Amino acid sequence: MNQEPGAHIPVLLAEVIEALQPADGEIYVDGTFGAGGYSRALLEAARCTVYAIDRDPNVAVFADKLARAFPGRFFWLMGNFGDMCELLAARGVTQVDGIVLDIGVSSMQIDSAERGFSFRQDGPLDMRMDASGQTAADLVNHSSEEELADILYHYGEERQARQIARAIVKARLTAPITRTGELAALIRRIVKGSKKGIDPATRSFQAIRIKVNDELGELERALAASIPLLAPRGRLLAVTFHSLEDRIVKQFFQSRSGETRGESRHLPHFGVTQKTAAAPLPLFLLPRKKPVSAGEPEARLNARARSAKLRLAIRTEAAA
Ligand SMILES: C[S@@+](CC[C@H](N)C(=O)[O-])C[C@H]1O[C@@H](n2cnc3c(N)ncnc32)[C@H](O)[C@@H]1O
């Protein structure tokens, strides 16, 4: 997951720019700056202003470059996109015209062994995007067997979660697991490789990374933050790479656009549907229900793009 060659190429770039429709004078939030591919394209497309957020201090080198190339129009805010309202308010910005989130890890993070994200290269078992809080090693060495199995199952959809958790707990009795290579080797002894050539450690590494960085919690907080932040007709875009993330975005969009079909067909309706009974005005409109995927040429060039899904929602005038 996200450990593919080509991860440095901004995914679905043309589609993101087309959906954001950059215009002169507008303000955009690039919530996941990375190497700045989306930010640069926005700044080149119109005389707009971009506030880019990233929790990884290592992106400073790319941010400085853009700040120099687009003086007064580009600003990097270091922090979590879940805190976007507070980060922007500190700069006097309370309303924006578009927000884009490109969820997951960057190629810079994956490719540097010392960041501890990679199961391909040996490094310290770290996986923190922002060098704060608990590391992957803390999680692996101090969680109970049950907690580990839950993390691997829920965030990695790993069917052999229990066996892996048992093996981790057994191995750490001898010595703590501190290297990505050690953990990957342990997993490979349990899980068989797939016919598609996917490394057996892929799902477990994804799960641990998601937990260490609270990635799903952050995504939920960012989606909620977009409601008060977006101006009427403001666009909210999310590019996701696996079903856990896409489900969160899809359910958020459906529930805030009056499209929720959560109610059971088997419950009594007492003559009115839930939709008409207490339907608040929708906060978003969904121009298309299905996500946009990469076309054949992009998928061929960029392996990461193959699993990408872009969803778009447009803010209505309804009060937050
Ligand atoms: C896939 S990369 C983005 C690539 C970017 N679109 C580009 O064109 O280069 C994801 C970036 O989001 C950052 N990130 C992930 N979760 C974050 C969060 N909760 N808050 C802020 N940044 C986050 C990561 O540090 C990483 O740099």
CATH class of 112-213: mainly alpha
- What's the rounded Cα separation, in Å, for the pair 259 and 7? 33
Please state, in angstroms and rounded to a whole number, the distance separating the CA atoms of residues 46 and 70. 11
Q: Is the pLDDT of residue 197 over 90?
A: no
Ligand 1 atom with the shortest distance to the CA of 13: 8
pLDDT confidence of residue 261: 55
- Centre of ligand 1 to C-alpha 268, Å, is 45
Is the confidence at residue 180, as pLDDT, over 70?
A: yes
Which ligand 1 atom is nearest residue 59's CA?
27
Ligand 1: atom nearest CA of 33 is 5
Mean of pLDDT values over 291-314: 93
Q: Whose CA is nearest to atom 12 of ligand 1?
A: 32
Residue 316 confidence (pLDDT) above 90? yes
For ligand 1, atom 22, which residue shows the shortest CA distance? 54
Instruction: Answer yes or no: is the C-beta of 116 below 6 A from any ligand 1 atom.
Output: no
Q: What is the mean pLDDT of residues 185-199?
A: 89
Calculate how far, in angstroms, residue 317's C-alpha sits from the geometric centre of ligand 1: 29
Write the pLDDT tens digit of every residue in 249-299.
Answer: 999 999 999 887 544 444 444 334 444 556 789 999 999 989 999 999 999
Domain 13-108+215-315 bears CATH identifier 3.40.50.300: no
| Cβ–ligand 1 contact at 59 (below 6 Å) | yes
The whole-number pLDDT of residue 4 equals 38
When the pLDDT of each residue in the chain is averaged and rounded to a whole number, the result is: 92
Instruction: Provide CATH 1.10.150.170 ranges for the chain.
Output: 112-213
Using a 6 Å cutoff on CB, does residue 56 contact ligand 1? Answer: yes
Q: Is the CB of 38 within 6 Å of ligand 1? A: yes
Hey, whose CA ends up nearest to atom 1 of ligand 1? 106
Q: Delimit the CATH 3.40.50.150 region(s) of the chain.
A: 13-108+215-315
